[in-house]
Each structure stands twice: as structure tokens, then as C-alpha cells.
């Protein structure tokens, strides 16, 4: 069996829009904030750390959004996505060399990203659930 990387991501919603970051890997892919889970940390701890590092905000995890198995040129991934609520700060670029920009996206804008190939695979899998949340 191939090695599967564990990733966590945060689903932060405001005014029926989802916060997504623009990651410089493989062009400029669009994804929820998050990243690689360290071996010695829990899933929720991982997503809170990653969001703090990427966007300079503190969040509270309020539940599991979903778990997705995907593959890309980088390998196989297990991605756990969590509902998160901002509790401190406003998003800002913290790591411009990795994540130069971010934005709040409506469901129609997210669907539009599917067509141009910039939306990461786990987000494409999450579209049905997002349609309910962001409608």
C-alpha cells in the first residue's frame, strides 16, 4: 500500500462565502487554509496551527466537514476538513512566498474554479455539501 499523507483544512464561512487561499504549488491552486498534519499533533490542533501560520487568525473547530481521499502529482492524501469559526483577528497574508493571496468565494465562484483546474481535488469532491451550505 502506498504512503498516504495526512492533511487538515479549515472551512471558514462568512456571509455565505468560503475563505480560500491561493497556494503557489503547481501554479496557483485554490484551497481552504490548512496543510500537513504533524505526526505528534491531533487533527483539530493541526488545522488551528495551519490557519494561524497561513492567515494570522485564531479559530475554533466546531465540527468535521468531511474526510476525502485524493491523489495528485504529489501523491496520495487523506484530507480532513473541519468547520472553523474565527475567534480572533482578520485574515492576512502571513507566508507570501507560499500563499500570496486569499479570498472569500461564493458557491458559483467555487464551481467556476473547477473548470479551470485550479481547485484542489478534495474541494471538487466537497461541492455537493458546499452547495447546501453556501446557497
pLDDT along the chain (135 residues), means of 10: 85 98 88 95 98 98 96 86 98 96 97 89 93 92
How far apart CA 78 and CA 93 sit, in angstroms, is: 26
Closest CA to 67 of 49, 46, 82: 82
Q: What is the CATH number of the domain that holds 43?
A: 3.90.79.10
How far apart CA 115 and CA 113 sit, in angstroms, is: 5
Quote the number of domains for the chain.
Answer: 1
Residue 125's domain comprises 4-134
pTM of the model: 0.93
DSSP 8-state secondary structure symbol assigned to residue 119 = B
CA distances from 71 to 75, 98, 121 (A): 5, 21, 8
Please answer whether residues 8 and 80 qualify as being in contact, where contact means their C-beta atoms are separated by less than 8 angstroms.
yes
Amino acid at each position: 500500500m502506498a504512503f498516504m499523507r495526512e492533511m487538515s483544512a479549515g472551512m471558514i464561512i462568512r456571509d455565505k462565502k468560503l475563505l480560500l487561499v491561493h497556494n503557489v504549488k503547481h501554479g496557483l491552486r485554490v484551497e481552504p487554509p490548512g496543510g500537513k498534519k504533524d505526526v505528534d499533533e491531533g487533527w483539530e490542533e493541526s488545522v488551528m496551527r495551519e490557519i494561524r501560520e497561513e492567515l494570522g487568525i485564531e479559530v475554533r473547530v466546531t465540527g468535521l466537514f468531511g474526510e476525502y481521499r485524493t491523489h495528485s502529482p504529489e501523491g496520495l492524501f487523506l484530507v480532513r476538513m473541519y468547520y472553523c469559526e474565527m475567534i480572533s483577528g482578520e485574515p492576512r497574508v502571513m507566508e507570501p512566498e507560499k500563499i500570496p493571496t486569499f479570498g472569500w468565494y461564493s458557491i458559483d465562484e467555487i464551481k467556476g474554479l473547477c473548470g479551470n483546474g485550479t481547485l484542489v481535488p478534495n474541494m471538487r469532491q466537497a461541492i455537493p455539501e458546499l452547495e447546501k451550505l453556501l446557497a
